[in-house]
Structure 1
């Protein structure tokens, strides 16, 4: 009896483990320049109570660690420095079937409750990715066709960005044009994960309200600037939408260069 109780307890602990997943997010900022890509490391923390947090944690990593991880685990070794276009945080509560997009606009903490969920079609096709035998699934989400590879050997029904709901853990997911690609490069159990409730000060808005705010500040690039800091030859602009842009102050026309960089990402992950 004790033997079976011990086995049951071990199985329960395994199923309730907390995980820290590291993804390489590779995307093409300009669809007209397929050979120009940016790669960032993104973290997915998964708690024991089926909550998760997805964010860019490159700021906290040393360059040597980033390079070592990519050289040993990722198929493309070109890793960019911290990319402010991924400064959002996405939280999920799988028990409540709730996904929330968190961001800062003009110094104000905001959040958008995501109502649309991916609707998956699981395929029979399988392939091995790293140490995991994965099964294929597809979905049309936010204007893109997505292809996911998930493993049911990992007892978590979650994945990067806003993706979840498959009968396993998403090891890789990319759109059909491979302009946005998330690949798992490291997964470990982590007993230190503890999400604190810091959303009380956030203002809840809709996606339409966010688009109106962005459109209203897009007429003049100067009107989109929240603050500027100059250090040596580098001018750092913090934009009202939370983006941070660095420009050499000696360029011929800072305003034109700033406008180009702000508009650089012509290929958002969500088309709708």
Structure 2
């Protein structure tokens, strides 16, 4: 989860616990924006990932049981004040190099990645198109609450393959899909949407 996603969830979690009972009491402009629409819940014990996302106005959820086959290297370096070690992974059509640290013995990382002896501090694909970096960390007294809307939790359950096929179909026919959802776009908005979709043709998972 990105930092802004976490901050947004924290605001909503506070509301759900009664710290903010009125929407009017919240300055919405101060809530961080994020480009990540998905939510990921991991259960390493079951080797299970639940992936929540939406396509236009439709919410979906799929389950994945990835068998991450990490290859740990003897290569080491310091990242900030953390002693890190390299590991390599092939996943969904990309080759990754990760740096994990035993200084934080948590077997987790960004996106769907987990399964190393320590926290993943940095991970990047071999084409240098996707990179995740740990910006900061701190100890917290209570377990953070990841907020997922009821609508999204109750999203349509599909297979991973069906989700990505629906996503591809929507991207290929975005304007018509928008129209089916009840929206209308003027020519300027339509041109902007087409340009945005062209820039989304490099997904993190090349072979989902």
Give the drift of 1:83: 4.8
Task: For 1:177 and 1:218, locate their aligned partners in 2 and report how far apart those are by CA, in whole Å.
Answer: 23
Q: Describe the shift of the 1:228–1:131 C-alpha distance in structure 2 as closer, same or farther (beyond 3 A).
A: farther
Q: Describe the shift of the 1:96–1:115 C-alpha distance in structure 2 as closer, same or farther (beyond 3 A).
A: closer
Corresponding residue of 1:155 = 105
Task: For 1:219 and 1:140, locate their aligned partners in 2 and report how far apart those are by CA, in whole Å.
Answer: 27
Task: For 1:258 and 1:106, locate their aligned partners in 2 and report how far apart those are by CA, in whole Å.
Answer: 13
Give the drift of 1:151: 0.5
Corresponding residue of 1:56 = 5
Which one of the candidate residues 92, 111, 119 is aligned to 1:142?
92
Corresponding residue of 2:145 = 194
TM-score normalised over the length of structure 2: 0.74
Give the drift of 1:135: 0.5
How does 1:1-272 map onto structure 2 within 5 Å?
Answer: 42-43=2-3, 56-57=5-6, 82-84=33-35, 86-192=36-142, 193-195=144-146, 201-218=154-171, 220-225=173-178, 226=181, 253-272=188-207
Asked whether the equivalents of residues 75 and 86 of structure 2 are also in contact (C-alpha less than 8 Å), the reply is yes
Pairwise CA RMSD of aligned residues? 2.9
Q: Cα deviations across residues 99-138 of structure 1 (Å, max 9, x unaligned)? A: 1111123433321111223210000010000110100000
Q: Cα deviations across residues 38-60 of structure 1 (Å, max 9, x unaligned)? A: xxxx14xxxxxxxxxxx834768
Asked whether the equivalents of residues 147 and 174 of structure 1 are also in contact (C-alpha less than 8 Å), the reply is yes
Task: For 2:172 and 2:145, locate their aligned partners in 1 and report how far apart those are by CA, in whole Å.
Answer: 42
Q: Cα deviations across residues 129-155 of structure 1 (Å, max 9, x unaligned)? A: 011010000011111110000001112
Q: Describe the shift of the 1:267–1:221 C-alpha distance in structure 2 as closer, same or farther (beyond 3 A).
A: closer
| Greater share of strand | 1
Q: Which has the larger radius of gyration?
A: 1
Aligned residues: 181
**Structure 2: segments with no counterpart, 5+ residues:** 11-31
TM-score normalised over the length of structure 1: 0.58
**Structure 1: segments with no counterpart, 5+ residues:** 1-22, 24-41, 44-54, 62-80, 230-236, 238-248
Task: For 1:173 and 1:212, locate their aligned partners in 2 and report how far apart those are by CA, in whole Å.
Answer: 27
Corresponding residue of 1:34 = none
Give the drift of 1:263: 2.3
Mean Cα deviation higher: 182-191 or 210-219: 210-219
Q: Describe the shift of the 1:196–1:82 C-alpha distance in structure 2 as closer, same or farther (beyond 3 A).
A: closer
